[in-house]
Structure 1
Amino acid sequence: MESENIIKKIQEEINKTGFPLELRVSKLLKNRRYFVNHSAYYIDEDEGKSREIDILSHLNRIFRDKKTNQDIYVRNVLVIECKKSDNKPWVFLESGVDEYDDQDLEELFVWNFENTKPFGLISTNYIKEVHPFKGYDYRARNFFEAFKGSETGETIFKALTAAVKASLYYGKDKTKDDICIYYPMVIFDGRMFQAILDDADKTNVSEINSVLFTFKYKSLNYERTFTIPILRENYVEEFLEKLEQSLEVATKQAEMIRNRFSDFE
């Protein structure tokens, strides 16, 4: 009887953490043919310490280089922090997309390819047209965790910084002739709300499944602007479907440019 009580208490403690969420997200990714690495380590350059990101995952698309007869991989790399909160909703303060948002895909995530030619010629305009980021009319500018007694957003901030630092760390690991697109993101098991100021200066609050946060991160060793998707668990698969469409376009662009460039070499 005592043993059963301990097991029940341990189960309850586990369910309070984000680990079950991490396992569910991992299962979803594997079902969609992603490669998944749990608890991947990266170096935090601000503190000079090894830290852990919940999930490092990637999905490959491949085309053949006509000149070398080699396969070239184009991949989405997802750098994911998983968070859970049963009674502390996440609230995001948003405003409309402005001229500083979406100026270039490099402002949204980390590109990685060893040679700027010819892949540097890839048109981001084609990718943007099918990219899930295009479907958002607002960007989150600030955040807090509701009902904590103060407007604290420490958990959210730590999740964002971990995803960014890990993306930049792995983005340095260049693989010859492969193209990697890194996406820092946060997946949340809990309720999320957006707060938007309307034309009458009234704050409208509504529940949401996802948000894009403009993260202008600056520290001693980092200075970069990211647009980071923060997704509730129930929206992850729909978001991935759209993200994979943009990967298909990027792959077609890369194949066309690589093989046209080869004709002139």
Structure 2
Amino acid sequence: MEKITFDEIKKALIRSGYLLENRVLNFFNDNQFDAESSHRYVIDEVEGKFREIDVLATANLASNSTNKTNITLFVNFYVECINNPVPLALFCSYGDREEPTTDWAYNFINGSPQFLEFCSESFPQVIYDRQNEIIKSMPARQYCGFIMKKDKNIDEKWMANHPDDFHQTLSKLSQFVKIKKSDTKERWEEIRPDFTRLEIFIPLIVLQGEMIEIINQKELELKDIEYYRLKAPYEKGYNKSLSIDIVTEKYLKTYLDLKVTGLINMFDDLNSLINSNFE
């Protein structure tokens, strides 16, 4: 068997997404998150089928205690890392200017039935009031990539395409959020039943390469972007979508700061309502 050289190893790694995955893992760990990489999860126990998420990052962001209530905010980022040699293009969807609060994935776990009901009814309004602080893009429902045609002797050597691997990434993230929402609720239910957990689940794609926005109105306009949201199907029976955040690697720090600050502000708003109703 031919031995691979160090130079060939470096070239293989640079072409892959492993170096990006490693940088993203270290980034979350350096920012007070508990992060792990290459997390495997079961999709079929009978057939032994597994899938893998590149990076899982979890943090306890804030807590609030009163004489009657205790609640803690946990955020979970589920991250796929993509080394895209050509730009990912996202089509601006003008019919979705406002993100419905139902696009958010979260659980309230433990606490009295009265308290859980109050939180579940109050949090959508809190999201609505604060979400513009951390959502800095229009949503998209359509995307495309670009591929070079095999016949390089023609003038139009590039064509737009719908990359299957990116579609699989979206499906995997949506599926994983569903699994973790269920698993988290099952794991923590009845553990410290007087302490309520607000778990927020955020699917995220980090791109090593470029991303562009396509604005298709009177004229076709293209813009370089660093952050966008893509609405992916989540629950077919309820016509429910899940917003998946997409950022470039160089924007990741800014994105995380915006997200964490916004989530803490939301949590503070929720606690103001809690404190005024559960004195």
Q: TM-score range by the shorter chain?
A: 0.7 to 0.9
Closer, same or farther in 2 for the Cα pair 1:222/1:96, shift >3 Å? closer
Give the conservation status (yes or no) of the 8 Å contact 2:84–2:209. yes
Identify the residue that residue 162 of structure 2 maps to in structure 1: 152
Matched to 1:43, the amino acid is V
Identify the residue that residue 11 of structure 1 maps to in structure 2: 10
Give the conservation status (yes or no) of the 8 Å contact 1:127–1:249. no
In structure 1, how many angstroms separate the alpha carbons of the residues matched to 2:64 and 2:96? 39
Pairwise mapping of residues 1-265 of structure 1 onto structure 2 (< 5 A)?
6-44=5-43, 49-67=49-67, 72-86=71-85, 88-98=86-96, 101-104=98-101, 106-107=102-103, 109-114=104-109, 116-131=116-131, 132-136=133-137, 138-149=138-149, 151-172=161-182, 173-174=184-185, 175-176=188-189, 177-198=196-217, 200=218, 202-217=219-234, 224-263=240-279
Number of aligned residue pairs? 252
Q: Offset at 1:183?
A: 0.6
In structure 2, how many angstroms separate the alpha carbons of the residues matched to 1:144 and 1:249? 35
Higher Cα radius of gyration? 2
TM-score (norm 2): 0.79
In structure 2, how many angstroms separate the alpha carbons of the residues matched to 1:255 and 1:129? 14
Matched to 1:241, the amino acid is D
Percent pairwise identity? 19
In structure 2, how many angstroms separate the alpha carbons of the residues matched to 1:69 and 1:218? 32
* Per-residue deviation, residues 119-152 of structure 1 (Å, max 9, x unmatched): 213343444444355432x222211211244513
Closer, same or farther in 2 for the Cα pair 1:48/1:196, shift >3 Å? farther
Matched to 1:113, the amino acid is F
Residue segments in structure 1 that go unaligned for 5+ positions in a row: none
The alignment's C-alpha RMSD in Å is 2.8
Matched to 2:91, the amino acid is L
In structure 1, how many angstroms separate the alpha carbons of the residues matched to 2:238 and 2:82? 24
In structure 1, how many angstroms separate the alpha carbons of the residues matched to 2:41 and 2:240? 18
